[in-house]
Amino acid sequence: MNKKVPRRQFITGACKLLAAGLAAPLGSLVVQGNRSLAASGEKSWPEIWDGKQWGFVVDTHKCIGCGRCVKACKQENKVPMDDEVYRTWVERYVETSDGVSIDSPNGGLNFPPLEEGGEKQFFAPKLCNQCEKPPCVQVCPVGATYRTGDGVILVDEKRCVGCRYCIQACPYGARFLHPETHVADKCTWCYHRVLRGMKPACVTVCPAGARKFGNLGDHNSEVAEIIETNRVRGLKPEKGTKPRVFYVGLDEVVM
């Protein structure tokens, strides 16, 4: 029973077994990583992304709170109209001597007429900031949300398990659980439209020109020009998320 094994044999034997055991899974990892699937259409994704960094500008001076963006967004992205979940919404800020009141009835889709005004009052449209450092992507346990090469955060509806971790992680409240699919949903800047050369639905329908969308990588684009020639700020810079939605003329009370 107690036969002794020389130390050298023990060590070399154990090493060999370990090496053999590791080789199999490591080999499969390498194969997995290199597996190349049929690229989309003629262009590969890195080619599609090349030179593009999408950006969004909101001009709060121009917004009239009509809520066309909220409605169009729901229609374009098949978010149920009657459920209180929004990929984009409009907040109303009314400042009086008593403080600031913020409301967004029905996501700002139809602000009721003739509300009591204040000393300072304005609208602030909100949407996903498509952060350069997205906390939602960081926390997803299954890799169901990710940042594309051109800077848009997408959700993989088939992969998402609906754990809601990303909803909690988003400092901007931009995510929600879709009431029909029961997976995480969020603004994608209408990525399916952008790839077809269209603008996001909210930008398309905004009658006031308060929403602008374009390529930050192109210095001649409208959004790049606005950012370079105006004072702009992103929301919650202290979170370190580096938002890609830039606000022109945004009051300091808006966070």
Partner 1 sequence: MADRMADKKEGVTGFFQKATVRVGSLLAVVLILFAVGRAFAVPDSFGEYGRYRGNNLQENADKEVSFTKGNEVCRDCHNTVFQALTGEYHNSLNCESCHGPAAAHVAAIGAETDETAKPVEIEETVELCSACHAETAGRSKEVIATVQPVKHSGGIDCIRCHNPHQPRTGLGGMRQ
Is 52 near partner 1 (CB under 8 A)? no
Least distance (Å) from partner 1 to the CB of residue 222? 15
Structure tokens belonging to residue 224: 């790049």
Residue 7 engages partner 1 in binding (rule: CB under 8 A): no
User: Which listed residue (3, 42, 220, 229) binds partner 1 by CB under 8 A?
Assistant: 3
Contact 56, 245 (CB under 8 A): yes
Q: What part of residues 77-106 is at the interface with partner 1 (CB under 8 A)?
A: 92-94
Q: How far is the CB of 234 from partner 1 (least distance, A)?
A: 22
Two structure tokens written together for 128: 């996903």
Q: How many residues bind partner 1 (CB under 8 A)?
A: 79
Q: Is 45 in the site for partner 1 (CB under 8 A)?
A: yes
Q: Among 46, 82, 119, 220, which residue interacts with partner 1 (rule: CB under 8 A)?
A: 46
CB of 168 to partner 1, least distance (A): 20
Pick between residue 3 and residue 82 the one whose CB is nearest to partner 1: 3
By CB under 8 A, name the one of 53, 76, 222, 225 that touches partner 1. 76
Q: Identify the residue among 72, 79, 166, 224 touching partner 1 (CB under 8 A).
A: 72
Smallest distance, partner 1 to C-beta of residue 9, A: 5
232 binds partner 1 (CB under 8 A): no
Q: Does residue number 33 form part of the binding site for partner 1 (CB under 8 A)?
A: yes
Task: Copy the structure tokens of residue 105.
Answer: 């009835």
Using H for helix, E for strand and C for coil, what is the string for the chain?
CCCCCCHHHHHHHHHHHHHHHHHHHHHHHHHHHHCCCCCCCCCCHHHHHCCCCEEEEEECCCCCCCCHHHHHHHHHHCCCCCCCCCCCEEEEEEEECCEEEEECHHHHCCCCCCCCCCCEEEEEEECCCCCCCCHHHHHCCCCCEEECCCCCEEECCCCCCCCCHHHHHCCCCCEEECCCCCCEEECCCCHHHHCCCCCCHHHHHCCCCCEEEEECCCCCCHHHHHHHHCCEECCCHHHCCCCCEEEECCCCCCC
Q: Between the CA of residue 30 and those of 26, 33, 36, 146, 181, what are the distances in Å?
A: 6, 5, 12, 22, 34
Nearer to partner 1, 34 or 238 (CB): 34
Minimum distance from residue 107 beta carbon to partner 1 (Å): 13
Site string for partner 1, 165-204 (x = CB under 8 A): -----------------------x--xxx-xxxxx-x--x
Q: Shortest distance, CB of residue 138 to partner 1, whole angstroms?
A: 10
Q: Determine if 141 is a binding residue for partner 1 (CB under 8 A).
A: no
